[in-house]
């Protein structure tokens, strides 16, 4: 295999080019048994139910499942598909910069969700934004603001939420927006990479052509027990 024909994003999923164990294997999910308990909260945009976007992404996800070595990935449920706008706090990430500066790191997650919800009651909803697909990789889709104005609006949301909630992740300014389809359990063999590259290129082109703007619900503050379901507690609709 000529590695020059494979994108850098895909090579990160190669056992040869990236032999390191997946970072969240053993905390977020296991090799067997699916997703592990990992309570937390987050601010996400779910897919609009019944939309062309949902139908197309479900179809794309099905193509992933048919790929060689797809069993090396743990897929999230269709109902959980979303784009994270701002990361909340989670049980296994209790450390500075990932937790509100004024809250003890040992505060129970349930209490943190209530406290953060109270702070968000005073949040002034910002401008809406449009999102488009940038590329596809084995874990799902990389997305971004459709225009420079959309990118600025998404950054404004993140900056405002960071100020209100009292923490700013190390990757706050260069966070890669995405829609997760799956988590890697075992990295791909080199023999599987060309077929994956072809599929990922086709999926990217098809989504860009069919839905140049992804139909997403407004940002919502959600709680979760694991990666199977994100329960919307508060919805921030810019158009109401």
pLDDT tens for the 240 residues of the chain, in order = 555 689 999 999 999 999 999 999 999 999 998 999 999 999 999 999 999 999 999 999 999 999 999 999 999 999 999 999 999 999 999 999 999 999 999 999 999 999 999 999 989 899 999 999 999 999 999 999 999 999 999 999 999 999 999 999 999 999 999 999 999 999 999 999 999 999 999 999 999 999 999 999 999 999 999 999 999 999 998 765
Model pTM greater than 0.85? yes
Give me the DSSP letters along 150-195. HHHHHHHHHHHHHHHHT---TTTTT---EEE-EEESSPBPGGGHHH
Q: Is 140 helix (H, G, I), strand (E, B) or coil?
A: strand
Residue 147: helix, strand or coil by DSSP?
coil
Per-residue pLDDT of 147-187, as tens digits, reads 999 999 999 999 999 999 999 999 999 999 999 999 999 99
d(CA 58, CA 201): 17
**Measured between alpha carbons, how far is 145 from 150 in angstroms, rounded to an integer?**
5
**CB of 109 within 8 A of CB of 222?**
no
Paired tokens of 37: 């308990």
Find out if CATH 3.90.1140.10 is the number for domain 3-235: yes
Q: From CA 97, how far away is CA 188, in angstroms rounded?
A: 33
17 and 9 Cβ atoms separated by less than 8 Å: no
Q: Of 10, 33, 40, give the one whose Cα is nearest residue 140.
A: 10
Q: At what angle do helices 109-120 and 148-165 cross, to 10 degrees?
A: 120
**Rounded Cα distance, 218 and 240, in Å:** 11
173 burial type by CB count under 10 A (0-12 exposed, 13-18 middle, 19+ buried) = exposed
47 - beta bridge partners? 216
Residues with Cβ within 8 Å of residue 213, at least 6 apart in sequence: 130, 131, 132, 146
Looking at residue 48, what is its pLDDT? 98
Q: Which two tokens stand for residue 225?
A: 């027990």
Distance between CA atoms of 100 and 192, rounded to whole angstroms?
A: 43
């Amino acid at each position: 295999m000529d590695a020059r024909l494979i994108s850098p994003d895909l090579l990160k999923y190669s056992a040869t080019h990236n032999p390191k164990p997946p970072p969240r294997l053993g905390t977020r999910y296991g090799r067997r048994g699916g997703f592990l308990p990992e309570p937390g909260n987050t601010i996400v945009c779910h897919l609009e139910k019944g939309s062309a976007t949902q139908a197309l992404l479900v179809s794309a996800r099905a193509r992933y499942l048919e790929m060689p070595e797809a069993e090396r990935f743990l897929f999230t449920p269709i109902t959980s598909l979303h784009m994270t706008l701002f990361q909340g706090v989670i049980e296994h990430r209790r450390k500075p910069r990932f937790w509100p500066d004024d809250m003890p790191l040992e505060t129970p997650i349930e209490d943190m969700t209530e406290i953060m919800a109270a702070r968000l009651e005073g949040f002034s909803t910002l401008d809406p934004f449009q999102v488009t697909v940038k590329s596809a990789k084995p874990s799902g889709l990389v997305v971004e603001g459709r225009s420079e104005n959309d990118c600025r609006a998404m950054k404004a949301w993140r900056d405002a939420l960071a100020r209100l909630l009292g923490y700013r992740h190390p990757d706050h300014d260069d966070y890669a927006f995405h829609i997760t389809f799956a988590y890697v359990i075992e990295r791909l063999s080199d023999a599987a990479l060309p077929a994956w590259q072809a599929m990922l290129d086709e999926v990217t082109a098809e989504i860009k052509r069919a839905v140049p703007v992804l139909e997403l619900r407004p940002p919502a503050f959600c709680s979760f027990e694991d990666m199977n379901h994100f329960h919307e507690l508060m919805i921030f609709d810019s158009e109401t």
